[in-house]
Amino acid sequence: MRIGVLGTGEVGNRLATKLASLGHEVKMGSRTANNPKAVEWAKANGPKASAGTFADAAKFGELVFNCTSGAVSLEALKMAGAANLGGKVLVDVSNPLDFSKGMPPTLTVCNTDSVGEQIQRAFPSVKVVKTLNTVANTLMVNPKMVPGQHDVFVCGNDAKAKSTVAGILKSFGWQDPIDLGDITGSRGVEMILPLWIRLMMTYQNPAFNFKIAR
Amino acid sequence: MRIGVLGTGEVGNRLATKLASLGHEVKMGSRTANNPKAVEWAKANGPKASAGTFADAAKFGELVFNCTSGAVSLEALKMAGAANLGGKVLVDVSNPLDFSKGMPPTLTVCNTDSVGEQIQRAFPSVKVVKTLNTVANTLMVNPKMVPGQHDVFVCGNDAKAKSTVAGILKSFGWQDPIDLGDITGSRGVEMILPLWIRLMMTYQNPAFNFKIAR
């Protein structure tokens, strides 16, 4: 599949690298056409890997990952362009973390709204699927990093889009993501970040995950 | 132990009943001295069970459970009285849920503060320990209701108070609660309620719990 990855940080790099290793054609997008991190990533990941602007990556992808910080995702997606994203599946893995006042971060949006919902409202034709934001970026692409069975969540308004994303998750090693229903489920998964961060501070290690015991 | 339980709702009833069944002397407190639910509970739970006002229950208890709704807990605790609570362990199991706009509820406080922290600030000499707010009231006193190993959290500023509460949790069947550190950890455990509620709506059943896989 042709996949656009928006964002050149640790999350974007990790996901783009995994997707390229699975044989997808991946274009990493950033604010500028020649972002050194994106160019370096493309050089290191074979002939199917390329770099460009947010708009280039969004246009290129049949499916697009939003790996920008949740606090600036709307702005990044506007740069990507509604026409380039229109009708496509957008996998939103972002968290609206505000580190400006130090640790622990607060959320820039929560309780009555979420980034996932904001994106869906701003781009009505895009099929937003929220997932993977509840695990460390190393774990996103390697669930076996944490022993035993544990969970990821998906939510979004389009069942077929969620099914497509479940297929990608499966290729990463995630079986049976928990479907939380429509995109308003983003609120719940974004709001567990404060507990996730607290646990990370407690364990001094991001190699953990939530499992829903039933 | 003499224990005061503030609140006559499902949570207060469940915890008070379990505590009485374990041999504790329990006084259930409410806004008025003769709350029918508290009086009925006391009648049904043996000679060591009694009812009274919030102030009566707080004064009676060597340890006090806050089982009032988080949205009104500060008000209830003011009625209980700082002098009656002073120096004691207060087990806060509340959640600041606002159902006034229908389902799902929002939180009356979150992100930069929490009920646990509000209570600790309002009653500085009280040893607030936040716990059990992340599980259904039926599960609070019967962890085996959900198969396998799964977790509860504790946080609070006083290590000895947390140890006392861990002992009570153990008597309920909970082994090794996860210690999230000081009372600011309340923020994380209160903010997972939106996900908890979403899962409850998905499963149509509150018999589930979070496990932290590592």
Concatenate the DSSP letters of all residues of B33-78 into one string: TT-HHHHHHHHHT-TTEEEEEHHHHHHH-SEEEE-S-GGGHHHHHH
Q: Is A63 helix (H, G, I), strand (E, B) or coil?
A: strand
Report the DSSP beta bridge partners of residue B52.
B29
Give A86's pLDDT tier (boundaries 50, 70, 90): very high
Instruction: Report pLDDT for A74.
Output: 98
Instruction: Report pLDDT for A36.
Output: 97
Give B207's pLDDT tier (boundaries 50, 70, 90): very high
- Percentage of chain B with pLDDT > 70? 100
Instruction: Report pLDDT for A83.
Output: 98
Closest among A140, A143, A150 to A210, alpha carbons compared: A150
* Nearest chain A residue to B197, by CA: A188
Instruction: Report pLDDT for A97.
Output: 98
Instruction: Report pLDDT for B85.
Output: 98
Q: Are B194 and A203 in contact (CB < 8 Å)?
A: no
Q: Are B80 and B57 in contact (CB under 8 A)?
A: yes
Which of B111, B155, B184 should one mutate to test binding to chain A, selecting the residue with the greatest count of A CBs within 10 A? Answer: B111
Q: Rounded to whole angstroms, how far apart are CA atoms A21 and A27?
A: 13
Instruction: Report pLDDT for A165.
Output: 98
Instruction: Report pLDDT for A67.
Output: 98
* Nearest chain A residue to B214, by CA: A208
Give B94's pLDDT tier (boundaries 50, 70, 90): very high
User: Is A209 in the B-facing interface, judged by CB distances under 8 Å?
Assistant: yes
Give B145's pLDDT tier (boundaries 50, 70, 90): very high
Q: Which CATH number fits domain A2-203: 3.40.50.720, 3.40.470.10, 3.40.710.10, 3.40.50.300?
A: 3.40.50.720
Give A209's pLDDT tier (boundaries 50, 70, 90): very high
* Nearest chain B residue to A109, by CA: B111
Q: Are A209 and B213 in contact (CB < 8 Å)?
A: yes
Task: Please tell me chain A's helix, strand, coil percentages from 3-state DSSP, rounded to the nearest 5.
Answer: 45, 20, 35
The set of long-range contacts for B94-103, using a CB threshold of 8 Å and a minimum separation of 24, is: B94/B66, B94/B67, B94/B68, B94/B69, B94/B70, B94/B133, B95/B69, B95/B70, B95/B133, B95/B190, B95/B193, B96/B69, B96/B70, B96/B71, B96/B190, B97/B69, B97/B70, B97/B71, B97/B193, B98/B71, B103/B197, B103/B201
- Give how far Cα A4 sits from Cα of A11, A79, A93, A186, A211, Å: 13, 14, 13, 22, 30
Mean pLDDT value of segment B17-35: 97
Residues of chain A found within 8 Å of residue B148, distances taken between Cβ atoms = 213
B150 closest CB neighbour out of A110, A148, A213: A213
Mean pLDDT value of segment A57-77: 98
Q: Are A150 and B210 in contact (CB < 8 Å)?
A: no
pLDDT digits (tens, 9 = 90+) for A99-155: 999 999 999 999 999 999 999 999 999 999 999 999 999 999 999 999 999 999 999
Q: Are B214 and A208 in contact (CB < 8 Å)?
A: yes
User: Is B213 in the A-facing interface, judged by CB distances under 8 Å?
Assistant: yes
User: Is B201 in the A-facing interface, judged by CB distances under 8 Å?
Assistant: yes
B130, B48, B36, B68 alpha-carbon torsion, rounded to 10° = 0
Residues of chain A found within 8 Å of residue B112, distances taken between Cβ atoms = 106
Instruction: Report pLDDT for A35.
Output: 97
Mean pLDDT value of segment B74-93: 98
CA B77-B78-B82 angle, to 5 degrees, is: 90
Distance from the Cα of A103 to chain B's closest Cα (Å) equals 12
Report the DSSP beta bridge partners of residue A209.
B213
pLDDT digits (tens, 9 = 90+) for A9-64: 999 999 999 999 999 999 999 999 999 999 999 999 999 999 999 999 999 999 99
Q: Rounded to whole angstroms, how far apart are CA atoms A113 and B2?
A: 43
A185 closest CB neighbour out of B111, B112, B198: B198
| Residue A210, amino acid | F
pTM value is 0.97
The interface residues of chain A toward chain B in range 41-70, judged by CB-CB distance below 8 A, are none
Mean pLDDT value of segment A204-213: 98
Q: Where are the domains of chain B?
A: 2-203
Neighbours of B152 (CB within 10 A): 23
